[in-house]
Amino acid sequence: MRSGAALFLLSFAAFAQTPPADVDAALRARVNEFFGYHVTGDFEKAWPMVADDTKKEYFSAQKTKYEKFKLDNIKYNEDFTKAVVTLTVVEKKRMSVQFPETEITHPTSTLWKIENGKWCWYNDHTTNWLMPMGPSAPKTVQTNPDGSAAPVITADKINQRVQGIMGQSAFNKAELHLSPTKASTDQAVFHNGQGGQVKIALVPSNLPPGVTAKLDKGDLNANEEAVLKVSYAPPKNAAAPGDITLNVVMEPFNRMFPVTVRFLPGQ
Q: Where are the domains of the chain?
A: 2-122, 170-263
Q: What is the pLDDT of residue 259?
A: 94
Q: What are phi and psi of 178, to 5 degrees?
A: -130, 160
Residue 6: C-alpha distances to residues 1, 34, 250, 255 (Å): 9, 21, 11, 11
Query: How far is residue 131's CA from residue 121's CA, in Å, rounded to a whole number?
Result: 23
Q: What is the pLDDT of residue 120?
A: 97
Query: How far is residue 1's CA from residue 125's CA, in Å, rounded to a whole number?
Result: 8
Q: Which CATH number fits domain 2-122: 1.20.120.160, 3.10.450.50, 3.40.140.10, 3.40.50.720?
A: 3.10.450.50
Looking at 192-254, which runs of residues are DSSP E strands? 198-202, 211-215, 219-220, 225-232, 244-251
From first to last of its 267 residues, the chain has per-residue pLDDT tens of 444 455 455 455 444 468 899 999 999 999 999 999 999 999 999 999 999 999 988 888 888 899 999 999 999 998 899 999 999 999 887 655 555 677 888 888 899 999 999 999 998 865 333 333 334 444 444 555 565 555 555 555 555 555 555 557 899 999 999 999 999 999 999 999 887 788 899 988 889 999 999 999 988 988 899 999 999 999 988 888 999 999 998 887 778 889 999 999 877
| Topology agreement, domain 2-122 and domain 170-263 | no
Query: How far is residue 18's CA from residue 76's CA, in Å, rounded to a whole number?
Result: 9
pTM above 0.85, yes or no: no
Torsion of CA 155, 159, 162, 166, to 10 degrees: 170
- CA 128 to chain CA centroid, Å, is 22
For residue 147, give the 3-state DSSP assignment: coil
Question: Is domain 170-263 in CATH 2.60.40.2310, yes or no?
Answer: yes
Q: What is the pLDDT of residue 147?
A: 58
- First-to-last alpha carbon distance for the chain, in angstroms, is 44
Q: What is the pLDDT of residue 245?
A: 93
Buried b (16+ CB within 10 A) or exposed e, 223-248: eeebebebebebeeeeeebeebebeb
